[in-house]
Amino acid sequence: MQKRKLGKSNLEVSAIGLGCMGLSFGYGPAVEKQQGISLIRAAVERGVTFFDTAEVYGPYINEELVGEALAPLRNQVRIATKFGFKIVDGKQAGLDSRPEHIKGVAETSLKRLKTHVIDLFYQHRVDDQVPIEDVAGAVKELIQEGKVKHFGLSEAGADTIRRAHKVQPVAALQSEYSLWWREPEQKIIPLLEELGIGLVPFSPLGKGFLTGAINKDTQFDKNDFRNIVPRFSPENRAVNQAVVDLVADFAKQKKATPAQVALAWVLAQKPWIVPIPGTTKLHRLEENLGAANVILTADDLRQLDEVTSKINIQGARYPEHLQKMVGR
């Protein structure tokens, strides 16, 4: 597995990481604990060194799973986790990025992750009640104390990134980016390039849609987040299938799978982009990691751009109450 550096930071990780959320949260029931541990350790055996979690996934159970799985391998890997949500009675209850809260989260996350340092600590969503300078300052203090190595932001807007970066250099921005969500190309990617910040795309496979494994008739589990996502309504899936069909046709030419082409496309955009596809299945993990060996030429990329730009993707990527929290 090739390595990449996230921007100008010295944070070097595998070119493809593992998003661990779906093992515990968001896409139906949590996997059995031993199954989750086995999958995470299988990823390390195959060269993955970058693992993404958050206190709110569960809450808490995903960090505990990642901590237990990686404890014996801690010196081989980099762990990213996140702060910024209020958790009341085991449920998400709004945002909280007050400095004292950030420091409290760091302490409890360190315990759950069974480690003495968090490699990358992201603000999960921008809290408009707390100046971003105060947030960056709190993480700067954690870095000075040796509890955190790098500061990250998730789904933040350009102005916020710039302001935060002045107080404490931002190593990485985590945001959705894929062949069917390209908005970051407008303002965010040029800004990251200017400031030397890495990009960590989550949902690089369009929450599974670009793999071709989902169609208009797919029934999601009752706890699956995609049930409330407008882009995943049956009628929008029917229209959006056109992009999947194009990727599948292209994948046949490359003797690859649609998922591998979608990930290879993300990797080809910039050398400081590290996608973190998630999965609960070993064969899907291996398929995703195989994308690192799919080489897309300039001509391939032009072709993919041409065909996908003609398709108007239908449906918002978040329901309205969640949409309000992004790009701030």
Here the CATH number for the domain that contains residue 214 is 3.20.20.100
pLDDT at 231 (0 to 100): 97
Q: Any idea what DSSP says for residue 221? A: P
For the chain, percent of residues with pLDDT exceeding 90: 98
Q: Is 318 a catalytic residue?
A: no
Which letter, b or e, does each residue of 45-74 get, where b requires 16 or more Cβ atoms within 10 Å of its Cβ? ebebbbbbbbbbbbbbbbbbbbbbbbeeee
pLDDT tier for residue 15 given thresholds of 50, 70 and 90: very high
pLDDT tier for residue 124 given thresholds of 50, 70 and 90: very high
pLDDT at 196 (0 to 100): 98
307 alpha-carbon distance from chain centroid: 26
pLDDT at 101 (0 to 100): 98
Q: How many residues does the chain have?
A: 328
Residues whose CB is less than 8 angstroms from the CB of residue 169 and which lie 6 or more positions away in sequence, other chains included: 8, 9, 151
Which phi-psi region, left, alpha or beta, contains residue 80 (left: φ > 0; alpha: ψ -120 to 50)? beta
For residue 46, the enclosing domain spans 3-323
Mean per-residue pLDDT for 4-32? Answer: 97
Q: Which of 317, 67, 30 is nearest to 201 (CA)?
A: 317
Mean per-residue pLDDT for 130-146? Answer: 98
3-state secondary structure 172-214: EEEEECECCECHHHCCHHHHHHHHCCEEEEECCCCCCHHHCCC
Q: Within a domain: residue 328?
A: no
| H/E segment holding residue 91 | strand 91-95
Mean per-residue pLDDT for 126-147? Answer: 98
Is 51:44 a contact under the CB 8 Å cutoff?
no
Tell me the two tokens of residue 327: 């790009």
Tell me the two tokens of residue 289: 């990691």
Mean per-residue pLDDT for 309-315? Answer: 92
Q: Within a domain: residue 116?
A: yes
Q: Within a domain: residue 62?
A: yes
- Cα–Cα distance for residue pair 234/246, rounded to 1 Å: 19
pLDDT at 326 (0 to 100): 96
Q: Within a domain: residue 204?
A: yes
Mean pLDDT of the residues in the chain: 97
Is 210:259 a contact under the CB 8 Å cutoff?
yes
How many independent structural domains does the chain possess?
Answer: 1
Q: 167-221 pLDDT, tens per residue?
A: 999 999 999 999 999 999 999 999 999 999 999 999 999 999 999 999 999 999 9
Among candidate residues 57, 122, 177, 318, the one labeled active-site is 57
What are the backbone angles phi and psi of residue 94, rounded to the nearest 5°?
90, -175
Q: 57-113 pLDDT, tens per residue?
A: 999 999 999 999 999 999 999 999 999 999 999 999 999 999 999 999 999 999 999
Q: Within a domain: residue 153?
A: yes
pLDDT at 114 (0 to 100): 98
